[in-house]
Chain A
Amino acid sequence: MKRSFLLFLLAISVFFWASCHGSKGPQADTFKIGVITSLTGSNAAFGQAHKNGYTIALEEINAKGGLLGKKVELDYYDDQSRPDQAVQGVSKLVDQDRVSIVLGAYSSESTRAIVPVVTQKQIPLIIPTAVADNVMESNSPWIFRICAGSGSFATATLDFLRNNGNPKKLAIVSENTNFGQANNKSMTEAAKTAGLELVDSESYQASSPDYKSLLQRVKGKNPEVIYFASYLLDASTLMRQSEQLNLNPKYYTSAGTGFAAAEFPTPDKGAGKYAEYTFSVSQWLPSAKWKGSSEFDQKYFKLAGSHPAYHAMEAYAVLVVAAAAIENAKSDQAQAIRDALKQVNLAETPFGPVQFDARGQNQHPVLLTQVQGGQYKVVWPIEAAESKPIIPAPEWSKRQ
């Protein structure tokens, strides 16, 4: 009994000793920036892309001497692709680690969950990739978003369609969390305005092995265009099973994400040849005209052994923007950084010009790509196009 008590005391003292040593050292001479992303769980592929993007930006910033004379350190919190964990992440990063700015999260679902929390804690949040427009609806002065939203996705897609065959019958297929539902809503509204007939609107539970019945429903409605809002695992399965059911719309279009992931056209991690001819909105590609794009691509390739999709670039860009704001603020206080973010006006980043409007939204142009020969090729708008869109998508039975 006595011995176990002594052991207990020993354990506690070791614990305290370790925790003192763990947190004391680095804080003095580093500048911590909080990052929430999905390093594990079903969105891990995107979280990893985020991390690679952040890593590249971090190296560049530290190579230039860091911020406010301190080395920059990224404090990651893995939300496990779950919104409740993202909320815990904000508390951990802000209350425990005392960061004064947070970047993230990955998904629209997690991001919507943390918006009220950072607002309440009065910490600026820069959103890299959450496209659901409702993450900006709170009008919180602490929220900034660098990527274009679901409304812009829908408009860009409809713009492309109107100028390329002008189809009239549309079906929407979306996953049932915030990302899919927000895109579904945006497209439903935009299609009504544009005069398209919405013949079918489906939502589904991601990570199901079988979407054949859903696709059968879509097939029964005979749409000319299908607009998907999917993550990666579901996007791959949906395309494979479209082939199985011989579902042949003229256009497979999509709200990016799964359909724009670097893995999607690869056979090992995505849909492989079934990805061919699908259209996707995109926010950036390695071939983008902005200065620094190809350098980023090279660095990314060196780091990850694959070429980046826009999610990685957006992570890179939010850290670059955060660094610029902190430099201008000349302070590590949340309020000062927030005020500096409002004034940010970067004419040249590899992600294009960045400036936030009164609501904290960056006006970013949306491109359309098509998978051609296993590669994403920009097909719209015309002034940015690398190749001509192939329309209609050949019927499955006529593909080799």
Chain B
Amino acid sequence: MVNWLYVALQAILNGLLTGALYALIGMGMALIFGVMRIVNFAHGAFLMLGMYATYVLFQATGGSPYYQFPVAGILLFVVGYATYMVLLRPIRGQVDFMVILLTMGLALILTDGAQLIFGADYHQINIPLLSRNIHLGSQISLNAPWLVSFAIALVLACALYWVVTHTMFGRAARAIAQNPYAAPLMGINVNRVQAISFGIGSAAAGIAGALLLPVFYLFPEVGNQFKLKSFVMVVLGGMGSIQGAAIAGLVLGVVESLTSLYWGNEWALAVDFVLFILVLSLKPSGIFGSQRA
């Protein structure tokens, strides 16, 4: 095979590995948006929280985040559930702007709180797996931690999809998404379903944070760039479609990687947002998936 083909293939594979984590983050955001029409500006801060929780756990036990990630998931589920019950429920039905302000404020509090407790300094962890590379032939090499996180993210993404499409809870959530006024008339406990959705969406961000920790570094503002990307994914995926957001995550990863390879790294973010604006203005219903979850 010619050399440039290997190079492109390597870049696509790298993009998919990063994209799976994006997908997990984006699906969490899409679930929350789909069921509640809430634009969650605290999504990045929840991811950061998941990273710090995993970091503290790693410091205490020395165990790899690749099997301790459920802790971050459970913690963030509780945080998300509580956030909905305590903060968001009282302002439901009011203008969307209130919700945006509230989640933004929450994000600021969480970020600054992390800065107070852990300091602004960055942290990273070092696990033996980090120096393992898997070689496919002589040209392609994949880093083991990224592969592991890819596998975990893929399984979780499928599980989330299955929950939304096949369980009672998922059916209730979709019913609320379709018609928030008719759903309670059918006997659906809207508050509970929305709180659980918010919890699951937050847990997805938390788990993505846990999986990012070994391959990235940790500082209070780490969530911001992922929050922006999750907006892009939600729009690309079709405003609340979780399978759409998942595909959008993978596509985003690959597009960034290829842009970086052929145009240079400084263009990668620009391409994200060019896509974002193009889709918003030309096809507001998104490129992938249906209109709603």
Residues of A at the B interface (CB closer than 8 Å) are: 39-42, 44-45, 48, 80, 176, 202-205, 207-214, 216-217, 220, 233, 236-237, 240-241, 243-246, 267-269, 272-273
Chain B residue numbers with a CB within 8 Å of A267 are 126
Closest A residue to B220 by CB, please name it: A40
Complex partner residue of B141 from A40, A240, A244, CB under 8 angstroms? A244
Chain B residue numbers with a CB within 8 Å of A39 are 120
Contact B131 A243 (CB under 8 A): yes
Known A-B contacts A40-B120, A205-B266, A244-B141; A268 and B216 likewise in contact (beta carbons under 8 Å): no
Contact B212 A213 (CB under 8 A): no
* Cα of A210 to Cα of B212 in the assembled complex, Å: 11
* Cα of A273 to Cα of B128 in the assembled complex, Å: 12
Q: Nearest 7 A-B pairs (CB), nearest first?
A: A40-B120, A213-B260, A204-B265, A213-B261, A214-B265, A44-B120, A209-B216
Chain B residue numbers with a CB within 8 Å of A273 are 131
The 0/1 profile, CB within 8 Å of A marked 1, for residues 71-111 of chain B is: 00000000000000000000000000000000000000000
Q: Among B14, B125, B219, B260, find the residue whose CB has the most chain A CB atoms closer than 10 A.
A: B260
Contact B258 A246 (CB under 8 A): no
Chain A residue numbers with a CB within 8 Å of B202 are none
Distance (Å) between the CB of A265 and the closest chain B CB? Answer: 13
Contact B141 A268 (CB under 8 A): no
Complex partner residue of B261 from A203, A216, A244, CB under 8 angstroms? A216
Contact B257 A210 (CB under 8 A): yes
Contact A246 B265 (CB under 8 A): no
7 new A-B pairs (CB below 8 Å) besides A203-B264, A213-B11? A41-B221, A44-B120, A44-B121, A208-B268, A213-B259, A214-B264, A246-B141
The 0/1 profile, CB within 8 Å of A marked 1, for residues 111-122 of chain B is: 000010001111
Chain A residue numbers with a CB within 8 Å of B133 are 243-244
Closest A residue to B10 by CB, please name it: A216
Contact B7 A220 (CB under 8 A): yes
Contact A213 B225 (CB under 8 A): no
* Cα of A236 to Cα of B126 in the assembled complex, Å: 12
Contact A212 B215 (CB under 8 A): no
Contact A210 B143 (CB under 8 A): no
Closest B residue to A211 by CB, please name it: B265
Distance (Å) between the CB of A197 and the closest chain B CB? Answer: 19
Chain B residue numbers with a CB within 8 Å of A241 are 143
- Is B285 at the interface (CB under 8 A from chain A)? no
Chain B residue numbers with a CB within 8 Å of A209 are 18, 212, 215-216
Distance (Å) between the CB of A159 and the closest chain B CB? Answer: 29
Closest B residue to A48 by CB, please name it: B121
* 18 A-B contacts (beta carbon < 8 Å): A39-B120, A41-B120, A44-B122, A45-B122, A205-B265, A207-B225, A209-B212, A213-B257, A213-B268, A216-B10, A216-B11, A236-B217, A237-B216, A244-B133, A245-B141, A267-B126, A269-B124, A273-B131
Chain B residue numbers with a CB within 8 Å of A203 are 264-266
Closest B residue to A273 by CB, please name it: B131
Chain B residue numbers with a CB within 8 Å of A208 are 225, 265, 268
Distance (Å) between the CB of B162 and the closest chain A CB? Answer: 28
Contact A205 B268 (CB under 8 A): yes
The 0/1 profile, CB within 8 Å of A marked 1, for residues 204-234 of chain B is: 0000000010011101010001000000000
Distance (Å) between the CB of B52 and the closest chain A CB? Answer: 16
Closest B residue to A202 by CB, please name it: B264
